[in-house]
Structure 1
Amino acid sequence: MTEEEARTWIADRHGAAGIGAMEQIVDLVVQENARQNLIAPSTLESIWTRHIVDSAQLLSHVDQAEDGLWIDIGSGAGFPGLVIAALRKQPIYLVEPRRKRADFLQDAANRLGLSAHVTVIADRIQAVTNASATIVSARAVAPITDLFAWAKGCSSKSTRWILPKGQSAREDVASARETWHGVFHVEHSITDAKSLIVLASKVARR
């Protein structure tokens, strides 16, 4: 997928408003990247493909009419959490333990006009115990088995997990099955045929 194809993909699904929001996110990330290393400099030229669409595609695994809390673990530069927040007007927690990145996320949410449904939590996911997630995402944060354990205080058997895992997804799922029950499915990323996304539901410890 080229950068132009990525922009077209967003426009076809989310219209002019979606394109405008993504352009704002790109500008904010590029500006902040000069102050702190949010994303690898080598990915700046392919930011629409590598980060914007790579994040937005997760919405294709969610019923757009569905409500409920989305929790994004390790939101970092806002991928996927900030992108999801801009395209889905439902409550979302952006959980990021690094203070400078959490501050960036809060500022970005304010500038994008998303603060009414976005909560930035400057802490580890283990500290989130006063919420129950309908959906949990985490992009290249940790092995699946760790994510399940860390988020036990804010997830349940009804929580659905959407986890971009790169090429190691099947091995990661096999490892998780040793200690966790659940329904697991692996999908290919639309931005990179070699990258995979793990979809999990009905997760419970063995």
Structure 2
Amino acid sequence: MSTIQSEEQARDYVRALCNVSAFANLGRLVDGLIAENRNQNLIAEPTVEIIWQRHIADSAQLLEHVSRGTSPWLDLGSGPGLPGLVLAVMRPELKFVLIEERQKRTNWLVQMVARLQLPNVSIEASRLQTVPRQDAGVISARAFAPLAKLLKLSARFSTSETAWVLPKGRSAEQEIRALPERLQQVFHVKQSLTSADAGIIVGRGQIRAGELP
């Protein structure tokens, strides 16, 4: 598929990935994001007008890089629920854990989970370092930390079967090349569907914190 270039294309893309009920719930999430953005800076103001393209479709595309049914899904530094809350709406049959330490954002996430009626979502309102260890089926993180630091912080959640889907900007290839040689073989970059300048670091496998500086 070519790069999504309009709000209409973004909605059509997302609609094709979920059922009617989930798509309607995403509309409620969008309304909630826009309303709350007046109280706290959840998303950059210029992106409000292209919210489906820049945030919803950008999150939704991660589903294409993970085998259907894989769970639980750990979303690190979930912030306004991007991508974790979007994906949890689209896949209510899967378990999602949203990890976010900023209190105002976790309060909003709790409110939205209740409003959208998402029993498949739990929220860890703490620093990643203090979250109890659990085996992750998927680990995602959007604008959380440079790749090496992200991997070191989240290594204890990974297993040999863990899928990694990490949206990045232009630095994606460079960040992989900066990893130790073994880890360079674990990850590769897929082109983002929402920006010609962005990539998604995709991989599968267990990471050991000792492998990273």
Q: When the two structures are superposed, what TM-score results if normalisation uses the length of structure 2?
A: 0.90
Q: Which residue of 1 aligns with 2:145?
A: 142
Report the Cα distance in structure 2 between the residues aligned to 1:176 and 1:71, rounded to whole angstroms: 22
Report the Cα distance in structure 1 between the residues aligned to 2:181 and 2:128, rounded to whole angstroms: 23
Q: Which amino acid aligns with 1:11?
A: R
Q: Which residue of 1 aligns with 2:55?
A: 51
Among candidates 70, 74, 79, match of residue 71 of structure 1: 74
Q: Name the structure, 1 or 2, with higher relative contact order (CA <8 Å, separation 6+).
A: 2
Q: Which amino acid aligns with 1:50?
A: R
The answer to whether 1:25 aligns with 2:21 is: no
**Deviation (angstroms), 1:67:** 3.5
> For residues 90 and 15 of structure 1, do their structure 2 counterparts lie closer, same or farther at Cα, with a shift above 3 Å needed?
closer
Matched-pair contact (CA < 8 Å) for 1:10–1:18: no
Choose 42-51 or 155-164, whichever is displaced more: 155-164
Matched-pair contact (CA < 8 Å) for 1:188–1:195: yes
Q: Which amino acid aligns with 2:59?
A: S
Unaligned runs of 5+ in 1: none
**Deviation (angstroms), 1:158:** 2.6
Q: When the two structures are superposed, what TM-score results if normalisation uses the length of structure 1?
A: 0.93
Greater strand fraction, Structure 1 or Structure 2: 1
- Mapping of residues 1-206 of structure 1, within 5 Å: 1-64=5-68, 66-88=69-91, 89-114=93-118, 116-177=119-180, 180=183, 182-205=185-208, 206=211
Matched-pair contact (CA < 8 Å) for 1:72–1:138: yes
> Across the two proteins, how many residue pairs are aligned to each other?
204
Report the Cα distance in structure 2 between the residues aligned to 1:135 and 1:143, rounded to whole angstroms: 18
Q: Percent identity at matched positions?
A: 40
Q: Which amino acid aligns with 1:75?
A: S
CA RMSD of aligned residues (A): 1.5
